[in-house]
Amino acid sequence: MLGTDPLLRSPSGRERSRRQHVWTRIASSVVTVAVAVATLVAGPAAAQAATPVSDPANVQVLVNKQRPLNPLRWVPPDLVWGPNGYLMRSVTSSALARLYAGAAAAGAPLTTVSAYRSYDQQAALFQSYVNQYGLAQAELISARPGHSEHQTGLAVDVGNADGSCGLGSCFGNTAGGRWVAANAWRYGFIVRYPNGYTAVTGYAWEPWHLRYVGPALATDMHQRGIPTMEQYFSTPSRPAFATAADLGAVDRAGVLWSYPGTGRGTIGPRAAVGTGWGAMTSGAVVDWNGDGRFDVIARFTDGSLYLYPGRATPGLGPKVLLGRGWNGYAITPGPWVNGRAASIVARAPDGTMYLYPNVGNRVGARTRIGGGWGSMTTSMVDVDRDGRQDLIAKRADGVMLLYRGNGTGGFVNEPRRVLGGGWTTISSVSVVHGFGGAGSRGLLARAAADGRLYYYPVTGGRLTSRTAVGWGFGPYRLLS
């Protein structure tokens, strides 16, 4: 299935092949969040459209106990009679009709239980809860007037068509509740008050309360694994590859994902970096331009090699052509020469090993640094911690050899030490730093047979025992 998250195993299956990226900036006092929607990576400079989430007419408006609607008695201008005869905004109505069709097709027919409520209706409802349960409980399950999502015309309480578990937490365990939890995002909705986030949202779990936020935001929250709007709009902008512990992976739909290393030997929720990577045949995460951010160097099916500069915000900057004719090469970028910017060590199709210096935004004239490498593939890491990068070379017979670098572009002249065997079962190797803790270094290796991902620490000049960190990576192209 396209784009299934190999780590999180999203039950949802298909992802959107085209994706837009949303990021946020939060000003200090007035919480104004500028949301910019841009096509990443290959396109021209991002078009930015500021849409403050304090605007009640914006489908991304953030309303909660701390953030009332402004004005407090706001009434949406485009209320219509939506599915099952409830008032809601027209954009909500059309998306909800599509969602209901999807749910019915999946055997979980849904109906509307509540939708738009005016300020006065909400005032009466809240007061009735206070009378019935007391103020504290009323606050947990209901909103004060002017503070309700229902007043935006973007919120809908849904229920099973057969009426089972209406407005009860048991709805979450019915076919309808499970279906909306897994699929609402496809229609531009989120389950606004998820289970376990009362401290964040202020509300008890409401598996029936759907909020229309639009496809861009719903998809981004889904793909980045951010469960609430509160977290989403206070999440600092994160670079595509923030640390050397992050793993890059391209799925079958051509989406480049970043899997952040947590620093505890595990991987956190992935984030989409951009689309259009379907033709990538080889890629690496490396600080190429020496600005302290991680860039991506990628080769494509036509043999072209590009630099995608990292930046402070999500996504990558406009690509720069580094060269052509790279098909058949095993490309290993990294800080191979001490005191210089990252360069490329590459094994040519005839087994010759070359060093390609970094000349600004280009690759300079190559130098031959070895021969007889056959079809070996290499990973660059300072195995012996002598301050000079080394190559771990994987031979066709699965033996891993250590070629220590001399720091000036060549290799230490010595017999090659065997680091391990049996690596014919490994179909991809990526170098990570800090993945297993501060100062750690190691390899993320994917098993060819089942797509499992393992972490092999490099400790004491050796590869030490591996731990499993993920599965389902079989269909992905992993960046080194």
Can you give the binding site for Zn ion, defined by CB under 5 A? 157, 209
Q: Which of 15, 149, 206, 230 is catalytic?
A: 206
Total Cβ atoms within 10 A of residue 140? 13
Smallest distance from the beta carbon of 150 to Zn ion, in angstroms?
6
Smallest distance from the beta carbon of 186 to Zn ion, in angstroms?
20
**Tokens 């094994």 correspond to what residue?**
347
Is 15 part of the annotated catalytic residue set? no
Residue whose CB is less far from Zn ion, 126 or 476: 126
Residue whose CB is less far from Zn ion, 204 or 468: 204
Residue whose CB is less far from Zn ion, 67 or 416: 67
Residue whose CB is less far from Zn ion, 206 or 246: 206
Residue whose CB is less far from Zn ion, 211 or 388: 211
Tell me the residue nearest to Zn ion as measured from the CB: 209
Distance CA 169, CA 141 (A): 11
429, 420, 428, 430: which is closest to 397 by C-alpha?
A: 420
Smallest distance from the beta carbon of 157 to Zn ion, in angstroms?
4
Distance CA 467, CA 197 (A): 31
Smallest distance from the beta carbon of 68 to Zn ion, in angstroms?
16
272, 218, 217: which is closest to 241 by C-alpha?
A: 272
**Tokens 């390609």 correspond to what residue?**
356
Smallest distance from the beta carbon of 222 to Zn ion, in angstroms?
20
209, 110, 101: which is closest to 162 by C-alpha?
A: 110
Smallest distance from the beta carbon of 117 to Zn ion, in angstroms?
9
Residue whose CB is less far from Zn ion, 139 or 157: 157
Residue whose CB is less far from Zn ion, 117 or 270: 117
Smallest distance from the beta carbon of 189 to Zn ion, in angstroms?
12
**Catalytic residue set:** 206
